[in-house]
Structure 1
Amino acid sequence: MTTAQWSGPRADRGLDVTHPVVWYVVAGVVTTGLQELVFLAARPFVDSFAANVLAIGLTTIANTEFHRRVTFAHMKASVAKLHLQSAGTFAFYASYGSLVLVLLHWLVGSPSATLEAVVLAATSAVGGILRFIVLRWWVFTTG
């Protein structure tokens, strides 16, 4: 018969700001905000699809580099995996965002740039969950 040792209640240490999830969320919020600002700035000059691709293109590389240097700094990453992940992130968000914009235009007809930006921000949040999983368990490994 085995017995379990009771060590008493675990001390709650609160939010650990060094945890990758915290930094990932911070980077995601900042990047999404920057994407939407670039999108809205470009929108008077180009259509929503081009503005979306431009915004994603300008923020993906910086976001991935932030994750390499800060979020997952304690983990190893293959250079090939890192570049593949950046290209995949760009392709995913450009395609995913474009499909969402097509759906929005189909449902609303002629949405405002602000509504497009809000919908793209929500889309980015959903995609960010999948990206964290890819970064954490495929790109940046502990071994």
Structure 2
Amino acid sequence: METVQSQEQVAAGAFSAFARFVLCGGGVGIASSFAVTAVASWIPWVLANALITVVSTLLATELHARFTFGAGGRATRRQHAQSAGSAAAAYAVTCTAMLVLQQLVAAPGAALEQVIYLSASALAGIARFVVLRLVVFARNHAHAATTVRTAHPVHATVARTSAPTGPAELCRAA
């Protein structure tokens, strides 16, 4: 009975985390699309996209650390690096999907391109969620649990029936 309840709690926690992941990541993604357009009016689009991608990945990682995965604090440098790696992998998946589409269909319409891009983005997003939950932010939960358990020093007492009588016994007692 407890195992079933435990599994249900884990599933509910994963679903809640995924909903927060979609809200935080999706919100940052939508804001990024507007930001790229605005910044591209001052600098070349390729540079604007690169700049906004870096900034949005940093922002999304902070949001995921604080809200999505319940870490409650700032993301570490390691988490930022791992998150950037997963974002780069997701970017590669969507680029590959679009390149494959271009190879398979001579002149794909805008609707087909959107279907392929959004499908690849959704699959990459699900994979990214799994990586962030199980790898990037999982260590933080394990570390926090260890810290809580070891935060208070454990004092050991040794009962002695008699005091050491000489230097040799004193050395053995230590």
Same fold (TM over 0.5): yes
Are 2:16 and 1:29 aligned?
Answer: no
Match of residue 122 from structure 2: 125
CA distance in 2, matches of 1:140, 1:62: 15
Match of residue 92 from structure 1: 89
Task: Give how far 1:86 is off.
Answer: 2.6
Question: Which structure dedicates a bigger proportion of its chain to helix?
Answer: 2
Task: Give how far 1:105 is off.
Answer: 0.9
Instruction: Provide the alpha-carbon RMSD of the alignment.
Output: 3.9
Q: Residue 120 and residue 61 in structure 1: after superposition, are their counterparts in 2 closer, same or farther (change >3 A)? A: farther
Tell me, which stretches of 5 or more residues in structure 1 are unaligned? 6-14
Larger RCO (CA within 8 A; separation ≥ 6) = 1
**Which is further off, 60-69 or 78-87?**
78-87
Q: 54, 59, 79: which one pairs with 1:82?
A: 79
Task: Give how far 1:90 is off.
Answer: 3.0
**Contact kept? 2:66, 2:74, Cα under 8 Å:** no
Q: Residue 78 and residue 70 in structure 1: after superposition, are their counterparts in 2 closer, same or farther (change >3 A)? A: closer
Task: Give how far 1:87 is off.
Answer: 2.3
SS in 1 for 2:71: coil
TM-score (norm 2): 0.52
TM-score (norm 1): 0.61
SS in 1 for 2:26: helix
Are 2:16 and 1:19 aligned?
Answer: yes
Are 2:102 and 1:116 aligned?
Answer: no
CA distance in 2, matches of 1:136, 1:71: 9
Task: Give how far 1:64 is off.
Answer: 1.5
Task: Give how far 1:46 is off.
Answer: 6.3
Task: Give how far 1:69 is off.
Answer: 1.8
**Contact kept? 1:32, 1:124, Cα under 8 Å:** no
**Contact kept? 2:66, 2:75, Cα under 8 Å:** no
CA distance in 2, matches of 1:129, 1:78: 20
**Contact kept? 2:87, 2:128, Cα under 8 Å:** no
CA distance in 1, matches of 2:115, 2:48: 14
Structure-to-structure mapping, 1:29-108, within 5 angstroms: 29-34=26-31, 56-57=53-54, 59-74=56-71, 79-108=76-105
**Contact kept? 2:28, 2:60, Cα under 8 Å:** yes
